[in-house]
A and B are shown apart, each in its own frame.
Chain A
Amino acid sequence: MKLHLKVWRQSGPQDKGRFELHTIDGVSSDMSFLEMLDVLNDRLLAQGKSPIAFDHDCREGICGSCSMMINGRAHGPTRGTTCQTYMRNFHDGQTVVIEPWRARAFPVMCDLVVDRSAFDRIQQAGGYVSVNTGGAQDGNCLPVPKDDAERAMDAAQCIGCGACVAACKNASAMLFVAAKVSHLGLLPQGQPERAGRVLAMVAKMDEEGFGNCTNQYECEAVCPKSIPADFIARMNRDHLGSSLIPSE
């Protein structure tokens, strides 16, 4: 099939950026979206032009690197990551608009590549259990109810891609932070630092320039791991409860 691509090009953080038009033919319906871009990049290189920069790595939907807004939808028309989007979901002659994530906290670095290091900093603010290597007790000394473990895993499977932020009109990171807070908050290992963790991570999230949640659930709709927005409510309860504990 033949596609008309409108791709965002931006040489660096200071560049204003613009859309560039490319027509690509011979696209197979079995190609992944990124493979289609590989083909385009090979052609650009053959013409001595600069290829389109984009983040990608595992190409199996787990590393969370890929991050494209395709026709206004984070990760494209189907549920899952950009790398797991296949060209059979597009039709011959279609115009496809490809943009980077757009959020103040995710500045564009080059073309479709954005800086998501704010996510790392939020986790550095408290997304861990303070335990040193060595000296841990036997794993079975700490029974965890199966349902709690399952629910923690539902949250823990977040891949940190940032689609939730990109889809949100407020560029809120609430689903991401809620998933991180809930993973540890639901497990006994996370209890000693639970109050401090949610307060610190939410404070960091605000500081990084993410917006607030206005319950539109766009995040849940695009999350490649289908992480439910209930976790946001859980985090809000946790945050409220924790903020009532007097600090020393």
Chain B
Amino acid sequence: MQLDARAPSGPLSEKWDRCKMDMRLVNPANKRKYHVLVVGTGLAGASCAASLAELGYNVSTFCYQDSPRRAHSIAAQGGINAAKNYRNDGDSVERLFTDTIKGGDYRSREANVYRLAQVSRNIIDQCVAQGVPFAREYGGQLDNRSFGGAQVSRTFYCRGQTGQQLLLGAYASLNRQIAQGRVKSHPRHEMLDVVLVNGVAKGIIVRDMVTGQIERHSGDAVVLASGGYGPVFYLSTNAKGCNVTATFRAYKRGALFANPCFTQIHPTCIPVTGDYQSKLTLMSESLRNDGRIWVPKSNGARKPDTIAESERDYFLERKYPSYGNLAPRDISSRAAKEVCDNGLGVGEGGRGVYLDFADAIKRLGEDAIRERYGNLFDMYAHITGENPYRVPMRIYPAVHYCMGGLWVDYRLMSNLPGLFVLGEANFSDHGANRLGASALMQGLADGYFVAPYTITDYLAGVKPGVGTEGGEFAEAEARVGSHMKRLQDTKGKVSAQVFHRELGKMVWDHCGMARNRAGLEGMLRAIPTLRERFWREVSVPATAGGMNQALEYAGRVADFIDFAEVLATDALTREESCGAHFREEYQTEDGEAKRNDADYSFVSAWGYNGENQAPVLTREALQYEFVKPSVRSYK
């Protein structure tokens, strides 16, 4: 298969304008004849649905939550980047572009990233106009904070709840369109299949999670904005409901899955306390400005205050003297894993390291620390029952974000005509690693400012109106029905969660912070056994209709098991270390990632090849015309 990214030619700064000029339009009177289906109502989905409806299209939205407002974008804390240069500190579109492409370790498309930096400015204006209560300075102007990976202050924020406020803004715009009758919202609906008519996306099959009914919905275009696949690791900072089902089922219909092995690990999360643990909570990285990270030099359960200074190993300060506790995310995460692998980890289960504020409190006083981090300390105390002013915090890395996703071209359309993929669900802008405060930017860029144009262009070439009567719909509905029947007929004795936990442990151990050939091959051998056990032993209550949360969950776990094979295959075949993908075989003597531009400067796009068959790889070569890939250095 030949992949055409459809990136326009010409100078970088003119590509998007040129593309917009080249795109076709739909007459206002004709827009109402078209219907677009949007799956997922986070930042990307809600903003896209609202914007399309404002243009005059009919839109249906679907989300598994009980309200569009609860999509997991709501949990983003830090902020949203925009190249406004309000600080006069030298920011520009060019600089945001360069930072993002470098942060992604040169594994993203130049044209996409440049467009993202360009429209970042419009996003802030749009959100302000909607009434998003951004932090302000005393003069009433918008405030900024700085964030990792950048030397300028370009992050806009709403306290520690930026994602919430941006989502509520998009949700408000969506509500306005719902009230006007142009959007029909379907909460508590889960997408279970994409329907292709003559190879073109024309509909979806969903399950009404309240009645249990399987429904057919047809549209002239289908938009997937269903988020990332973090919970393939079981434990992550994602919501419990986040899942790969929508994108994975599209993959099974022929959409390509790009770079699944690019998964980001966040170094400062509250560690696991027991097997029952369902979720990991992120603690802001800013804590590393004043906290010192250490483990005891020898193992054995001891209270931290009984461990003498000479008995402590401040491993980041030791290994990275110039960056110390502020070493980049991937380096810090791997160093913590290494000391825990050596049996030096602290806390229950031994998967944790201390983040100690004793020195900072001695130096600055408890009040100063409270002022800086009070809310985080409270959150930690609430969750762990420990007082971090007295006892060092325990932290451990956790899965946080997925850079990989369905392959899309410059116009955010997958290789299946009519199937658009937005936000975290696509792979497009972050390469091998995402910078802080860029996820919100990308979701809203896709939904507000890219997809409304590109979907219009697509619809201009499509005859509107498609029913759900066709054989393709019946076939897809039957496929979904038999899959669910199979789950309910298993009548095993083990909950899906048990399998999910087992899968997650395997993926985390072998395809997490550090990967190697033996581990990945072992994982690929173990997954079929796990799958076989799942389908023999899983317990799903059979109900005639109505709510069945165990059925929903089992379906997602089944997809995670299958998807983990694609993930491991991608990690195995990318024989280099870049960004968040660290292959132990490819590192420098001092443990830095060794990227291989000569052989791996491409996007890996995986195609479904049938049940129990290895996926097929298609490569999209990455060309760097405007930036020169260089080696990241922290020395």
Query: How close is B561's CB to chain A, nearest CB, in angstroms?
Result: 18
Question: Can you list 15 A-B contacts (CB < 8 A)?
Answer: A57-B65, A60-B279, A60-B281, A63-B70, A65-B66, A86-B382, A124-B178, A127-B172, A129-B172, A132-B54, A133-B50, A136-B122, A139-B127, A146-B137, A187-B133
Find the B residue at minimum CB distance from A128. Answer: B172
A124-150 toward B: CB 8 Å interface, digit per residue (1/0)?
110111111110111110111110011
B126 interface neighbour in A60, A130, A134, A152, Cβ under 8 Å: A134
Query: Does the CB pair A48–B493 fall under 8 Å?
Result: yes
Give the interface centre of A29, A120, A139, A146 by most chain B CB atoms within 10 Å. A139
B161 interface neighbour in A64, A150, A157, Cβ under 8 Å: A157
A51 interface neighbour in B72, B187, B493, B541, Cβ under 8 Å: B541
Query: Does the CB pair B72–A58 fall under 8 Å?
Result: yes
Find the B residue at minimum CB distance from A43. Answer: B495
Find the B residue at minimum CB distance from A88. Answer: B385
A28 contacts partner chain B, Cβ-Cβ < 8 Å: yes
A18-59 toward B: CB 8 Å interface, digit per residue (1/0)?
000000000011111011101101100111111101011111
Query: Does the CB pair A57–B141 fall under 8 Å?
Result: no
Query: How close is B563's CB to chain A, nearest CB, in angstroms?
Result: 20
B135 contacts partner chain A, Cβ-Cβ < 8 Å: yes
Query: Does the CB pair B276–A128 fall under 8 Å?
Result: no
For A39, what are the chain B residues with a Cβ–Cβ distance below 8 Å? 276
B9 contacts partner chain A, Cβ-Cβ < 8 Å: no
Given A32-B279, A128-B173, 6 other A-B contacts at CB below 8 A?
A: A50-B541, A129-B131, A134-B449, A156-B165, A189-B128, A189-B131
By Cβ-Cβ distance, the 9 closest A-B pairs, closest first, are A143-B140, A128-B172, A136-B129, A45-B495, A139-B128, A59-B279, A110-B547, A136-B125, A133-B51
A80 contacts partner chain B, Cβ-Cβ < 8 Å: yes
Query: Does the CB pair B130–A189 fall under 8 Å?
Result: yes
For A45, what are the chain B residues with a Cβ–Cβ distance below 8 Å? 493-495, 539, 541, 550
Given contacts A46-B495, A136-B128, contact A56 B240 (CB under 8 A): yes
A3 contacts partner chain B, Cβ-Cβ < 8 Å: no
For B129, what are the chain A residues with a Cβ–Cβ distance below 8 Å? 129, 131, 136-137, 189
Interface stretch, picked from A111-119, A164-172, A214-222, A229-237, is A111-119
A96 contacts partner chain B, Cβ-Cβ < 8 Å: no
Query: Does the CB pair A63–B75 fall under 8 Å?
Result: yes
Find the A residue at minimum CB distance from B52. Answer: A133
Query: How close is A91's CB to chain B, nearest CB, in angstroms?
Result: 14
Q: Report how far A115 CA is from B452 CA in the complex, Å.
A: 32
Query: How close is A4's CB to chain B, nearest CB, in angstroms?
Result: 19
B: interface residue count bin: 35 or more
B580-604 toward A: CB 8 Å interface, digit per residue (1/0)?
0000000000000000000000000
A187 interface neighbour in B122, B131, B239, Cβ under 8 Å: B131
Q: Report how far A29 CA is from B135 CA in the complex, Å.
A: 38
A7 contacts partner chain B, Cβ-Cβ < 8 Å: no
Query: Does the CB pair A139–B125 fall under 8 Å?
Result: yes
Query: Does the CB pair B495–A133 fall under 8 Å?
Result: no
A109 contacts partner chain B, Cβ-Cβ < 8 Å: yes
B129-154 toward A: CB 8 Å interface, digit per residue (1/0)?
11101111111111000000000000
B298 contacts partner chain A, Cβ-Cβ < 8 Å: no
B623 contacts partner chain A, Cβ-Cβ < 8 Å: no
B546 interface neighbour in A110, A124, A125, Cβ under 8 Å: A110
B271-290 toward A: CB 8 Å interface, digit per residue (1/0)?
00110111101100000000
Query: Does the CB pair B547–A29 fall under 8 Å?
Result: no
A84 contacts partner chain B, Cβ-Cβ < 8 Å: yes
Q: Main secondary structure on chain A at its contact with chain B? A: loop
Q: Report how far A160 CA is from B134 CA in the complex, Å.
A: 20
Query: How close is A186's CB to chain B, nearest CB, in angstroms?
Result: 8
Give the interface centre of B50, B210, B452 by most chain A CB atoms within 10 Å. B210
For B448, what are the chain A residues with a Cβ–Cβ distance below 8 Å? 133-134
Given contacts A11-B546, A127-B175, A143-B139, contact A57 B70 (CB under 8 A): yes
Query: Does the CB pair A183–B239 fall under 8 Å?
Result: no
Query: Does the CB pair A38–B276 fall under 8 Å?
Result: yes
Given contacts A28-B273, A129-B129, contact A42 B164 (CB under 8 A): no
A38 interface neighbour in B47, B168, B172, B278, Cβ under 8 Å: B278
B95-138 toward A: CB 8 Å interface, digit per residue (1/0)?
00000000000000000000000000010111111110111111
Query: Does the CB pair B175–A30 fall under 8 Å?
Result: no
Q: Which of B160-196 contact A (CB under 8 A)?
A: 161, 164-165, 168, 171-173, 175-176, 178-179, 185, 187
Q: Report how far A211 CA is from B380 CA in the complex, Å.
A: 37
For A139, what are the chain B residues with a Cβ–Cβ distance below 8 Å? 84, 124-125, 127-128, 134, 142
For B141, what are the chain A residues with a Cβ–Cβ distance below 8 Å? 140, 143
Q: Report how far A56 CA is from B278 CA in the complex, Å.
A: 11
Query: Does the CB pair A124–B179 fall under 8 Å?
Result: yes
Query: Does the CB pair A46–B493 fall under 8 Å?
Result: yes
Q: Report how far A39 CA is from B275 CA in the complex, Å.
A: 10
Give the interface centre of A78, A129, A130 by most chain B CB atoms within 10 Å. A129
Query: Does the CB pair A51–B276 fall under 8 Å?
Result: no
Query: Does the CB pair B547–A113 fall under 8 Å?
Result: yes
Query: Does the CB pair A149–B75 fall under 8 Å?
Result: no
B258-301 toward A: CB 8 Å interface, digit per residue (1/0)?
00000000000000011011110110000000000000000000
Q: Report how far A123 CA is from B493 CA in the complex, Å.
A: 44
For B125, what are the chain A residues with a Cβ–Cβ distance below 8 Å? 136-139
A153 contacts partner chain B, Cβ-Cβ < 8 Å: yes
For B139, what are the chain A residues with a Cβ–Cβ distance below 8 Å? 143
Give the interface centre of A78, A128, A137 by most chain B CB atoms within 10 Å. A128
A68 contacts partner chain B, Cβ-Cβ < 8 Å: no
Query: Does the CB pair A125–B50 fall under 8 Å?
Result: no
Find the B residue at minimum CB distance from A190. Answer: B131
A241 contacts partner chain B, Cβ-Cβ < 8 Å: no
For B127, what are the chain A residues with a Cβ–Cβ distance below 8 Å? 139
B518 contacts partner chain A, Cβ-Cβ < 8 Å: no
